[in-house]
Amino acid sequence: MPDYGNDIRFGYFLVPDADAALGILDTAAVLDDAGFDLVGIQDHPYQRRFLDAWTLLSAIATRTEHLTVFPDVASLPLRPPAVLAKAAASLDVLTEGRVELGLGAGAFWDAIAAMGGPRRTPGESVRALQEAVSIIRLMWSGERAIRFDGDFYSVNGVHPGPVPAHPIGVWIGGYKPRMLRLIGKIGDGWLPSLGYIDDDGIASASAAIDDAATAAGRDPARIRRILNVGDEIPRDELSQQLTALALNHGIDTFVLGGAASNEQLTYLAQEVFPRVRDDVAAAR
């Protein structure tokens, strides 16, 4: 697969454990000071041990100056798209452009239904997500009033706003063919996770996204490739493997995770990440 030439960025995946709430904010401040680019927070509103993702992202944003924050990924069935769009745009304005929107079609349907959300088939989930993205972008459009009549979501004359401080990227998590085609057609980014996909899967999925983008008249290079790495790669192999993923598969954003001390996080940001950037630049 090609290297799309995008800048290389690095983030961290913080678990929204309510029992460690203040520690999460402290870690975010360390990430910000060390030089990380992003922080991702998983969104499982039905998980009783987790803080609400959007509330936590907002708190992280107030404790940091440089980090971009994003839900990794927002649970669409429990977050109506017009309201989700307003939340993302509001935080983007407050942070002067430090928000992106990771979006998922939904999973754990029993838990979603228990919380009052819909239960959808895989096909319904994809169609609902496509409608949601249309509404989200209309809500960011700056138009005086918008309308959208879908099978799952509708808005009728709502006055959208605020307009985000920067063009928020819609990064879609997905692995199956229908979702990959949708990402190529309308997505600003693809957001998979190691552990659910391997090198061969990344290659075939990215090719499917590229084909769909080309068919829709879009430049595949404009679709960012954001990989949740977690702690799947041993730290002593991290630089080499991240460089290979960037050059061989076009991954441009890496979101690490797992337990790490403040010193380890600083070492990653100041030693490992520059090495990856330099190696990728030298090979381009």
pLDDT score at 84 = 98
Contact 128/80 with Cβ under 8 angstroms?
no
Q: Given 3-state DSSP classes, what are the helix, strand and coil percentages for the chain, each rounded to the nearest 5?
A: 50, 20, 35
Q: What is the pLDDT of residues 92-130, one digit of tens each?
A: 999 999 999 999 999 999 999 999 999 999 999 999 999
Among 1-5, 247-251, 264-268, 272-276, the minimum mean pLDDT is found in 1-5
Using H for helix, E for strand and C for coil, what is the string for 163-193?
A: CCCCCCCEEECCCCHHHHHHHHHHCCEECCE
Q: What is the mean pLDDT of residues 9-25?
A: 98
Q: What is the pLDDT of residues 131-162, one digit of tens each?
A: 999 999 999 999 999 999 999 999 999 999 99
Please indicate, yes or no, whether the overall pTM of this predicted structure exceeds 0.95.
yes
Q: What is the mean pLDDT of residues 242-253?
A: 97
pLDDT score at 2 = 80
pLDDT score at 1 = 56
Distance, CA of 252 to CA of 2 (rounded, Å): 11
pLDDT score at 39 = 98
Contact 122/178 with Cβ under 8 angstroms?
yes
Q: What is the pLDDT of residues 224-246, one digit of tens each?
A: 999 999 999 999 999 999 999 99
Residue 69 pairs with which residues in a beta bridge? 39, 99
